[in-house]
Structures are given as C-alpha cells and as structure tokens.
Amino acid sequence: MEPKESVESHQERPEPRWSVGSSSSLHYGSFVNSLASLTPKTEEQSAISPKRAYIAVTVLCYINLLNYMERYTIAGVLSNIQTFFKICDSTAGLLQTVFICSFLLLAPLFGYLGDRYNRKYIMIGGLSVWLGTAAGSSFVTESQFWLLMLLRALVGIGEASYSTIAPTIIGDLFTGSQRSIVICIFYIFIPFGSGLGYITGAGCAKLTGDWHWALRITPILGVVGLVLLVFLCANPPRGAAETHGEGVTGKSSYLEDVKYLLKNKSYVWSTCGVTALAFLTGALAFWMPTFLARAQVTHNLTQSCSDVSGNTTDSFIFGAVTLVTGILGGALGTGLSRWFRDKVSNADPLICAAGMLGSVPCLFITIFVATSSIPATYVFIFFGELLLSLNWTVLADILLYVVVPTRRASAEALQITVGHLLGDAGSPYLLGAISDAIRYNAKDATQNWSFHSLKYSLLLCPIVGVLGGVFFFMASRYIAEDRQAAQQLTEGTSPPQQGPAPQLPHLELSNRSIEQS
C-alpha cells in the first residue's frame, strides 16, 4: 500500500491542471458506488485557515437566522395586519406571495452571478437592499397597503442573493462529514429563525400595541450582520474543499449549466420534493397561527381579535414549537444521514421521504383535533413539524454533493425558483382563496365558519405531503451515481464509460489565491 502524501509534498509539486471535455466526460447512470467510498476519510486542506472558516460560518448562520426571522414576523402578527388594513384571507396571503415571487424570480440572476463573480460583494449588496426595504415596510399607514405589498416584494431581492450564495460558500469551506455537520448547523437556523420571527413579532406587537414595531427588530439586528459580513466573512475559491484549496474554474454558459442540471436525475427529483416541502411548510407557517387563534375563538377560550393589538398567544406558542422542532429535526436528520450513509447508498433521499410521509397523518390529526382539543393539536403539530424538519439539512447536503462546485450557485438558484414558484409562492394565497370561497358560500358565515373554512382549506397540505414523499423515493434511485459523477468530475478523473458521453463544461484547477474582499 502506498504511503499517504503529506499536504506539504502536495503543495511542492507543480500545480496540476485538468480539464474535462466530451472525450472524458461522465455518463450519468453508468456506474454505481457505495456512498461510503465517496466520503473523504482524511481531512481536506481548506483554502483558508480553520479559524477563519468557522468565523465565516458563524456570520453566515447569524444572517440566515435574521433572514427567516424577518420572513415570518408578518405571520406572527397576521391577525393584527388583517384588522389594521381590513383585508380578507386571500388578500393577506398575497403578502407572502409577492415576497416569494420576487425571491424566486431573482434567484436565477444571483445564481448566475454567484458562479462567476465575487460572492461576498453580491451578498453585501443584497443584504443592504433587504435592510432598507424591511425597515421601510414598518412605516406604512392604514391607506398604504399597496406600499406594504411593494416593499415586501423588494425584500425578496436581498434574500434571493443570500439564500442562493451562502450555502455554496460553506460547500467550499468544508467537505465530507464535516460539511454535513456545518450544513446542519446552518440550516437549523431556518426553523430557529422562523420560530423567533413569530415570537419577536408577536412580542413587539403586544409590548408596544403597534404591529409596525414587529417589523423593525430584524433590520436593526441586520445592520450588525452587514458589518460582520464585510469584515469577517471569507470568499474561498470555488471547489476549494474538494481540491485541497486550489479551487476549480469552469467555462460554460448559463444554458449549459441548466442542461447539466436537468440531466442530473437525483437533483431533478429532489427539487420536486423540495417544491412539495416548500408548498406544505409555507402554507402551514403562514396560516397555522391564525388557524389556532380561530380555534381558540371557536372553543370560547378567547374573544375574536377586534383591535390592532390582537391576540398573540398562538403566535408565541407556534413560534416556540417551530423553534424547538427545527433544532431537534435538523440534528436528527443529520444524525440519521451520517449513521446510514455508509450502510445504505441512497439513505439521504429515503430519510426525506420518511419525513414527508410520516408528517401526513400528523397533519390530518392536527387539522381535525383542533375542533375538540387545543392541547392535543399542539402535540401533533410538534410531531408533524419535527418530521418535516428532518429534510432541510439533508436536502442541502444532497445538492452540494451531486453538483460540481462551479454550478452550485446556479443549482441553488434553480431549486429556489422552482421550489418557491410551485411551492410557497402560491400556497398561502391558494389556501386563503379556498377558505374565502368556502366561507362566503356558507349559509351562515359566522365566526365558526371562519375557522371551519380555513380548516378545510388546510387539507390540501397532507395531499401535497404524499406527493413529496413519492418524489424523494424517485430521487433515491439515482443518488449514488450522480454523487460519484460529481466527485470524479471535480477531482479530474474519468471512469470507464458505458455509452455516448454528453457534452460537459471545461473545468480546471485554479492556482488563484483567495478572492479578497
């Protein structure tokens, strides 16, 4: 057995350069290897020091927390906003729809830029826009609902730039099981931030008696995040983690990038699963606090919200449940992935399928048990959200290891676009429209019908959950081949082919230093 080469000896050799053209490209589906052989057993040398890498991840996690806090602050005070502007359910649902539409339409642009230009500068610009528009939305008056809608759409610019690019930087700082752990921590801040969004939004509205203050907390905290991003976040070469810090460059058009991704079957099917997950979680996140508040009124436990301060108890509780289940689910999903990855080659998409399908009965019970028992409703909400939270960190890891480094930002962007366009961009409005239609067609449109109509509209969520589970099962059929293809393409090796090779981009190792901020 040959001795291992030291990092120093590797650096002393003439720096290798490699390219992959049509003659040495990979035919997806032509080979199958266990995922155990694909996880690096030795530590990879990062393009930057471990200390700087962990500092960068800390900054990215903090900003990710603020992103999702801001996104769900409005859901925490939705009843207050409906009372303030005197709007119905479908109109209220548009607040989330316009934000998501802006987010998904701009994601491909930032994905294209993120694969080609300085990612740190792009995130700084996007975050600056986000801070300005988020703060501005807290000053709208009763006659300016249109302005609130416009500003919510503009907030999507900043979040599109960050959500598309930040995971790719993490992918270039770490690899193997270390990357899985860091990605888990990063994505745990999605439900953590979402839960804090409900809690801080409802808390500010209750303390001040004005829901506008709920929208001013995250912009203030965001200024700190912007400063940290400017001075502490590194921008490593693309593919640095897989190439001992050397980096990878690629020469391809955006159309070629999209064609490459569409041929990646595990990426396509997992994107379909992400879409179903986004539809389900987006609808639940936006409407569940309101649904629970109406259930309380139906049980005569509280009175109907008749002023702008409203009843924020359910936003507090739902936010706390989201926060706890997000942390537990993210950690559990990553733990299961690491445990089964060496034993089952397609473990990751199977974990996602189990999470989606397992949440379906919990959601059915949640919807119907609210009629008889509020405490029992919270119990099943807890288990449903826990199962759904298994997916986020595992899905992020899947994308990073089945896509080559020079196309990860485009892959993130395309997945964001499709997932939000067909997922949570329309689900809050769709459920609101169904609720309005049921209530307005009822013979007695009382407060009880306001609850029951929303309950029936929420039945769409378990159906979508079943579809998501099927999509992840399909992804499990191709995950091993696609992961091996991406790794060998990154490392510059070419396996024996069993069929005509598709055109792949010219990729080469780069000897450039770290891009300076």
0.85 cut: is pTM over it?
A: no
Tell me how far apart the alpha carbons of residues 57 and 185 are, in angstroms, rounded to a whole number. Answer: 9
Q: Which class would CATH give 47-240?
A: mainly alpha
CATH topology identical between 47-240 and 252-491 = yes
Tell me how far apart the alpha carbons of residues 220 and 198 are, in angstroms, rounded to a whole number. Answer: 17
Token pair, residue 412, equals 């993130």
Sign of CA dihedral 151, 153, 156, 157: negative
> Residue 347's Cα: distance from chain center in Å?
20
Collect the ranges in the chain with pLDDT lower than 70.
Answer: 1-48, 239-252, 300-315, 442-448, 490-517
Tell me how far apart the alpha carbons of residues 57 and 171 are, in angstroms, rounded to a whole number. Answer: 11
The predicted pLDDT at position 352 comes to 93
Q: Are 173 and 120 in contact (CB under 8 A)?
A: no
User: In what helix (H) or strand (E) does residue 376 lie, and over which residues does it extend?
Assistant: helix 374-389
The predicted pLDDT at position 239 comes to 63
Q: Tell which CATH architecture fits domain 252-491.
A: Up-down Bundle (1.20)
Looking up tokens 């009763």 gives 142
Secondary structure of 120-182 as H, E, C letters: HHHHHHHHHHHHHHHHHHHHCCCCCHHHHHHHHHHHHHHHHHHHHHHHHHHHHHCCHHHHHHH
Backbone φ/ψ region at 32: left (φ over 0), alpha (ψ -120 to 50), beta: beta
79-to-57, 76, 311, 464 alpha-carbon distances in Å: 36, 8, 8, 26
For the chain, what are the domain ranges?
Answer: 47-240, 252-491
Query: Residues near 84 by Cβ (< 8 Å), separated by ≥ 6?
Result: 142, 211, 308
Buried b (16+ CB within 10 A) or exposed e, 182-209: bbbbbbbbbbbbbbbbbbbbbbbbbeee
The per-residue pLDDT for range 57-101, each reduced to its tens digit, is 999 999 989 988 888 888 778 878 888 888 887 788 788 778 878
